[in-house]
Amino acid sequence: MSRRLKVGVVGAGIGGHHIAAFRDLPDLYAVEAVCDVDAERASALAGRYGIAKALTAYDDLLALDLDIVDICTPSNLHFAQAKQALAAGRHVIVEKPLAGSLAEVDGLKETEASTGRRVAPIFQYRYGNGFRRLMHLKAKGIAGTPYVATIDTHWRRTPAYYDNPWRGRWAAELGGTLVTHAIHAHDMMCEVMGRIRLLFARTATRVNRIETEDCAALALEM
């Protein structure tokens, strides 16, 4: 049996769900440390799961003997933290959005190639049972050629969801519902339908008093 991979989780918000997922695979992963700028949150999350180290400095986390750094921080930190973890010789799991531009994504790809480490963005929906069955049928040639698809994401985020220093702000979240919620559905669509050729979008901020869009409609030509 291969050894367990040692993981450090950065961000004590959604990072708690990541830790729970790692704990479901105890033969594969061991979460060694939690890092958050809020010492109380880091300690509380580490205590909940019996994790030995609770840190507040990202550099201290990277100094540990880890195989994987799992980045669950605000969106505007993803690119720099992922690049730093790769340079430190760690594999990286990073929440979406992966970066703030295609140029930054290309930069991560170059760093990945030069370090021999891997970057894994969070696109967990493509591993759901129903979707895997569809991809199996597609691979076997049973599903046939797809011509038209529709996807709806009807999640209502209330003001309480945006009541923090970074959500709903262009500089911190790097976008609105398109890159934070609907991106999962669009990822699955591209897996099934292929690459996007043309895109038309209308966006609006209709529900919450935020900077970014909270409603959108898109038409894509594949």
Do the Cβ atoms of 94 and 115 come closer than 8 Å?
Answer: no
CATH number, position 36:
3.40.50.720
Q: Are residues 53 and 99 in the same domain?
A: yes
Per residue in 157-188, pLDDT (tens digit) is: 999 999 989 999 999 999 999 998 889 998 99
- The predicted pLDDT at position 3 comes to 85
Encoded tokens for 78: 């993803």
Q: Within a domain: residue 129?
A: no
pLDDT at 1 over 70: no
Last residue in a domain, options 71, 93, 122: 122
Per residue in 189-217, pLDDT (tens digit) is: 999 999 999 999 999 999 999 999 999 99
Q: How many domains does the chain have?
A: 2
Task: Report the distance separating Cα 112 and Cα 117, nearest Å.
Answer: 5
At residue 77's C-alpha, the angle toward residues 75 and 83, to 5°, is 120
Q: Within a domain: residue 93?
A: yes
Distance between terminal CA atoms of the chain? 43
Instruction: State which residues form the domain around 170.
Output: 141-221
**What does the DSSP 8-state code read for residue 157?**
P
Last residue in a domain, options 65, 91, 122: 122
Sorting pLDDT into bands at 50, 70 and 90, what band is 106? Answer: very high
Please report how many Cα atoms fall inside a 13 Å half-sphere around the Cα of residue 130, on the Cβ side: 2
- The predicted pLDDT at position 64 comes to 98
- The predicted pLDDT at position 170 comes to 95
CATH number, position 197:
3.30.360.10
Largest CA distance in the chain: 53
- The predicted pLDDT at position 153 comes to 87
Q: Within a domain: residue 131?
A: no
Per residue in 21-74, pLDDT (tens digit) is: 999 999 999 999 999 999 999 999 999 999 999 999 999 999 999 999 999 999
Q: Are residues 118 and 210 in the same domain?
A: no
